[in-house]
Each structure stands twice: as structure tokens, then as C-alpha cells.
Amino acid sequence: MVKSYVGPIRQEAADIRTDKLISAYMTTKVISFHPDLSIYEAMQTLLWNKISGAPVINEHQELVGVLSEGDCLKEIVKGKYHNAITDTGTVGEHMTKNPVTIKTNMTILDAAHFFLSQRFRRFPVTKNGKLVGLLTQTDLMRAMNEL
């Protein structure tokens, strides 16, 4: 027989405040790239910081794309296939353009539903087109646990 722990973190649904905004839980110190950065330097940054992707912003802090491990992997495979070094090209040439974002005024419950409907583990958070943070599934779990 499997027993599950039901301790202090379990609350009645009526007690949980789900109207709190994601802006209270998002990461605001975000590693980001400029579109002109070399893809090789970006890969090194991802590896060094142990992150799977980062937003790409222009000089006005506007979000112009996202560079993911998948985007980098495509370049590595292409380089290996052609027996070439993988330090060619820029982030802007390899990033995913027009990324899916969320807004700062989204509630944590709405964000949780949004995460479940998408295949991504993190989303850039924008306000007026500018990057202001990053929200991950871990951030949402932390928020729900606090509530």
C-alpha cells in the first residue's frame, strides 16, 4: 500500500491566493544575448551557466528571439556533417524568431495553465515589447508552494 504525505503544504482550495502576479516570482537578472554575438560564444555561455536557452535582445532591450540548446544543436550537427568548425554565424542567424512570451500582469494560475498548454519550460516576460524577466516552471512551483 502506497502512502502519500499530506502535511502542512496542503491547504483548502479556497485558502490559496491564485491572483498573485508572475512579476513577483519571475527572474529579473536574465542572461541574454545580442543578435550579433557569435553562435560559438553563445554556446559557451549556455554551457558555462548550465542553462538551456536565453532570450535575444537588441540594444533597446526589445526581445527579438530566443536561442535554445536545440538551435545550437542544429548548428553543431550541420558543422559535423560538413566537417566544419561550429563557430560560424551569429545568434541572430540561429535563434528562434518571434518567441512566445508572457506579460507581467498574468496571474500565477493563468501562467500555470499557459505552461501546461505549451511545450516550453520557460518563457520570456515582456512589458511593452521589452524583456523584463524570465519565468520558469520551477518559479511557478515555488510560487504555488508559498501560497
Domain map of the chain by residue range? 17-146
Q: What's the pLDDT score for residue 99?
A: 92
Q: Within 10 Å of residue 42's Cβ, how many Cβ atoms? A: 25
Total-model pTM:
0.78
In the chain the beta strands, taken as DSSP E runs, fall at 53-57, 63-68, 96-97, 102-103, 122-127, 130-136
Q: What's the pLDDT score for residue 16?
A: 53
Looking at the domain that runs over 17-146, which CATH code has it been given? 3.10.580.10
Q: What's the pLDDT score for residue 2?
A: 45
Which residues of the chain are modeled with pLDDT < 70?
1-18, 79-87
Q: What's the pLDDT score for residue 74?
A: 85
Q: What's the pLDDT score for residue 54?
A: 95
